Structure 1
Amino acid sequence: MAEAAGPRLAVVTHAHPSISRGGSEIAAYTLYRGLLALGLPAIHVTVTPEENEARLELATPGEHVLLVPAGRQDAFYNAGTPGLAMDLAALLRREGVGRISFHHYLHLGLAGLRLAAALPGVTSLLTLHEYAAICLRDGQMVTRPQHALCYGASPSACATCFPEHDLSQFALRRDRFLNAFAGLGGFVAPSRFLAARYAEWGLDPRRITVIENGLPRLAAPLPPRHRGQGRWVFGYFGQLNPYKGIDTLLAAAELIAARRELAARLAIRLHGTIIGQPEGFREALEAAARRHPFLSFAGPYPNEAVRPLMGECDYVLVPSRWWENSPVVIQEAFAAGRPVICSDIGGMAEKVEDGVSGLHARVGDPAELVAAMERAMDPDLAARLSAGLPRPCDGEEMARRYLAAFAALSQPARLALAS
């Protein structure tokens, strides 16, 4: 049965899942397909660099693309261009859009965000998938060059990481973001942790709604593996880069290798791509896989394969060294019926309840990660954790929650700078 239609809703994002499988673009597309499944009028708008045009694969008539000319991105202020902003506004007017769900401002820029949100009769929400407005370093809130966790942004702290910019530039950057956000109806955060970070930064917490990202498809959880006397299998899924804690995982492998009995009881499988990573990082990963029989690098995988691949594991590892928000891999693990061993910070610690749906390990500590893995190889504990897994929501449930958030917007918000 179709939901009440209401004004047409546009999901606007910075990438399409046919060219990029990051969490925010998957979440945006899941919302779009969830709206369609509910019988609602919706469109999906991808704002992406023109070099991606040939790789785009649009699956429905409601998908649109706006191309950003090469060299027009501004990483510091993310100002955007008037031409692109007007193109988006024209598309939204032509399609009769009355509600906009923004899922990023990358490529679109703050000019596009501001102009689209100011269209007459339009209400808007911005989903904050990471910390890009707060942190210039890829929105990771990790210091430069030390790779330490950042516990709070400020002009002085940011200028320490980026000495090529002075304090006044970072203060201006924050003001420009907050002023652009002022015309939006509200904000969505996929985790309470991220919502709190943005409230500390300057957003009114009363205007932030926490809505978990959904998964495109849900099926019954897979049954636990029947190992007999076989090895316990721990799987890593996703991008293979230092932010994701691969260095911690490789250091943990060295500790495991020093304990022959433990090494004989487990297997670690790394699923993902190392394309684009520094040569030294790639060489270290490949050398570790050659050196340790229990460690294997399986390479990239299509998204459709993640469920059966997780089904071959007992646990999913998420050892990230940045705060994360709502990693899709955790939702995928829960949907597949697999507990998670993760770092004890940020959105990971929020999503995985220690001792209930998985185990925590101190972030960046390989010995703690090994201890958690060793503890996990207890059949009774594994059974309890499997029984404690939450059920992720699907695209339709995600869409309903967004519709409720739009319904709660009585009028466009005018958020002020934090006093």
Structure 2
Amino acid sequence: MIPANANVSHPSSAAARPRVAVVSHSHPSLSKGGAEISAYALFRGLRQIGVDAIYIGACATSTRHRLAFADENEFAVFHDAERYDHFYHLAPGSVTDQLVEILAREGVGLVNFHHFYHLGLGALRAVKAMPGMRTYLTIHEFLAICQNHGQMITRQARILCESASNEACATCFPEHLRSQFAMRRDTMLDSFGDFDGFVSPSRFLADRFTDWGLDAARMSVIENGLLAPAEPMRGPKRDKSWTFGFFGQINPFKGVDVLLDAADLIAADKALAGTMRLRIHGNLIGQGPEFTDRFEKSLKAHPFLTYAGAYDNRSVHRLMSECDYVVIPSKWWENSPVVIQEAFGAGAPVICTGIGGMAEKVPDGVAGLHFRLGDAADLLRALRLAADPNNAAVLRAGLPPVISAAEMARRYCEAFGWREERALPPLEAAE
């Protein structure tokens, strides 16, 4: 792992290379989602290794007053959230005009999109049509494939969807015709199907998209890097209690309800309740009154369960270092959650649902433990295993290194076809 502040070799022939724009659907000062954090880390990493890069984020006009740039290399396009088509993902032409104007004015020759949301597919087409422009798309979730918030979960039964089809999607959304879902897919593929290349942080997500229609020969898998990876701050364990932390948005897909179910099971065993601590960090969003009421009642009923509230991403390393484990009970496939890399960087093994990108990134019994989807009793089994000093030592020893933003940027440069003066680690490419 190369520290973010290390002296690194610059890409050869850098002066002849085009200026790069990393474009995302938001800015980290407005939204702390994994896609925005990863895109911003890439932007910073590119600049660290000598690539002339800018960052462009989409910003709702209503939140413009909260937008905060770090320097002159950051820009925004502004959109009206009420004038966006969420089915075909079309935005007003003014959004496209703003983006094209920034790219032309700033002399950008390569654009790496990290989302199309808020920008609209028309913006992707327009940028792709700019003379001499090279375009790449980094995929962070399934929104292009799945209309249900990109979660690949059935709308009514809330079970995992293995693959999309016009018939299955129309069953989830009976207000739309099957022909509309066929048109939606065609529109998506027409908008970015002939990009110069695609990047996915996980093999799982890459395979889903190549099965759906993207060209496997143009797909690369590059792990998310951390903007400022640091050495674990964890000292020797001095007590017999075990702290399990949840970090992220507390929304219907992140599985906090499974954690609350596990808390009820822990409470039934007084000895266990005396040794376990469950700590929840994050914003409480997207939940109805039924969940909110239960959440508040659980906090009052279980002294070992605490809600630490929202957190600044700059403090995540310290907060995770206070936990013995990080728990990710997500009820959707996930891709490559940044929280996994953050946990590994803090020296905390991960206990996660054993599906999708989570299972890929956290080898069971090596860097963490898996449990069955939505199964609180199986989560408790994993927590019991984790609360054993011998098991904890094995799992901590199995933590993989995390890569820095600069190293991620170097791997992106190879995906762009740019060779560096020093040899790069081999890039995993889709077969």
* TM-score where L is the length of structure 1: 0.95
Say which of 231, 236, 241 aligns to 1:231: 241
* Structure 2 residue 337 is the aligned partner of structure 1 residue 304: no
Amino acid at match of 2:259: L
> RMSD in angstroms over aligned alpha carbons?
1.4
Q: What secondary structure is seen at the aligned counterpart in 2 of 1:131?
A: coil
Q: Which residue of 2 aligns with 1:134?
A: 145
Q: Tell me if structure 2 keeps the 8 A contact 1:245–1:319.
A: yes
- Asked if 1:20 corresponds to 2:31, the answer is yes
1:83 is displaced (CA, Å) by 3.0
For residues 290-321 of structure 1, give each alpha carbon's deviation from its aligned partner in whole angstroms, at most 9, with x where no partner exists. 10111111111111221111111111100100
3-state SS of 1:71 partner: helix
Following the alignment from structure 2 to structure 1, what is the Cα–Cα distance between the partners of residues 371 and 265? 15
C-alpha offsets along residues 325-352 of structure 1, whole Å, 9 cap, x if unaligned?
Answer: 0111111000000100000001100000
What are the equivalent positions in structure 2 for 1:323-362 lying under 5 Å apart?
323-362=333-372
Whole-Å Cα distance in 1 between the matches of residues 266 and 404 of structure 2?
Answer: 38
In structure 2, the residue matched to 1:285 is 295
Deviation at 1:68, TM superposition (A): 1.0
The aligned residue for residue 57 of structure 1 is 68
Aligned to 2:416: 406
The answer on whether the counterparts of 2:20 and 2:112 sit within 8 Å (CA) in structure 1 is: yes
Q: Decide which moves more: 59-68 or 275-284.
A: 275-284
- Asked if the contact 1:81/1:112 (under 8 Å) is kept, the reply is no
Say if 2:169 is the partner of 1:161.
no
Give me the whole-angstrom Cα distance separating, in 2, the residues matched to 1:70 and 1:292.
Answer: 40
* 1:221 equivalent in structure 2: 232
Q: Name 1:74's counterpart in structure 2.
A: 85
1:192 aligns with 2:200: no
What is aligned with 1:416? none
Contact 1:234 1:313 in 2 (8 A): yes
Paired residue type of 1:178: L
**One-letter identity of the residue aligned with 1:349:** A
Gaps in structure 1 of 5+ consecutive residues: 410-419
- Name the structure 1 match of 2:214: 203
Q: Distance in 2 between matches of 1:196 and 1:307?
A: 31
Contact 1:339 1:357 in 2 (8 A): yes
Percent identity of equivalent pairs: 52
- Displacement of 1:79 after TM fit? 2.3
Show structure 1 runs of 4+ deviating over 4 A.
none
SS of the counterpart of 1:244?
A: coil
Deviation at 1:39, TM superposition (A): 2.2
Q: Is the 8 A contact 1:225 1:311 kept in 2?
A: no
Distance in 1 between residues matched to 2:99 and 2:30, nearest whole Å: 21
Conserved 8 A contact 1:270-1:299: yes
| Contact residue 251 and residue 286 of structure 2 kept, 8 A | no
The equivalent position to 1:314 in structure 2, one of 318, 321, 324, is 324
Whole-angstrom CA distance in 2 between matches of 1:86 and 1:307: 39
CA offset digits 1:32-74 (Å, max 9, x no partner): 1111111221111112221121110001101111111342211
Deviates more, 1:261-270 or 1:319-328: 261-270
Distance 1:83 1:237 in 2: 36
Deviation of 1:183 (Å) = 3.3
Alignment correspondent of 1:412: none
Offset at residue 401 of structure 1 (A): 0.8
> 1:265 is matched with which residue?
275
Is residue 373 of structure 1 aligned with residue 383 of structure 2?
Answer: yes
| Aligned residue in 1 for 2:429 | none
Distance between the aligned counterparts of 1:408 and 1:181, measured in 2?
22
Amino acid at match of 1:405: A
For residue 132 of structure 1, report the CA deviation from its aligned partner.
0.4
Q: Which runs of 5+ in 2 are unaligned?
A: 1-8, 420-431
Give the whole-Å Cα distance in 2 for the aligned partners of 1:249 and 1:329: 17
Shift of 1:81: 3.0
In structure 2, what is the Cα distance between the partners aligned to 1:69 and 1:316? 37
| Equivalences for residues 38-49 of structure 1 within 5 A | 38-49=49-60
Q: Deviations over 1:13-35 (max 9, x none)?
A: 11000010000000110001111
Is the 2:11–2:418 contact (alpha carbons within 8 Å) kept by the matching residues of 1?
A: no
Q: Residue 415 of structure 1 aligns with which residue? A: none
Match of 1:2 in 2: 10
Q: Secondary structure at the match of 2:416?
A: helix
Work out whether residues 286 and 297 of structure 1, in 8 Å CA contact, stay in contact via their aligned partners in 2: no
Alignment of 1:397 onto 2:398: no
Distance 1:242 1:225, change over 3 A: farther
Give SS of 1:19's match: coil
Query: How far apart are 1:208 and its partner, in Å?
Result: 1.0
- TM-score of the two chains, using structure 2 as the length reference: 0.92
SS in 2 for 1:17: coil
How many matched pairs? 408
What amino acid maps onto 1:359 in structure 2? L
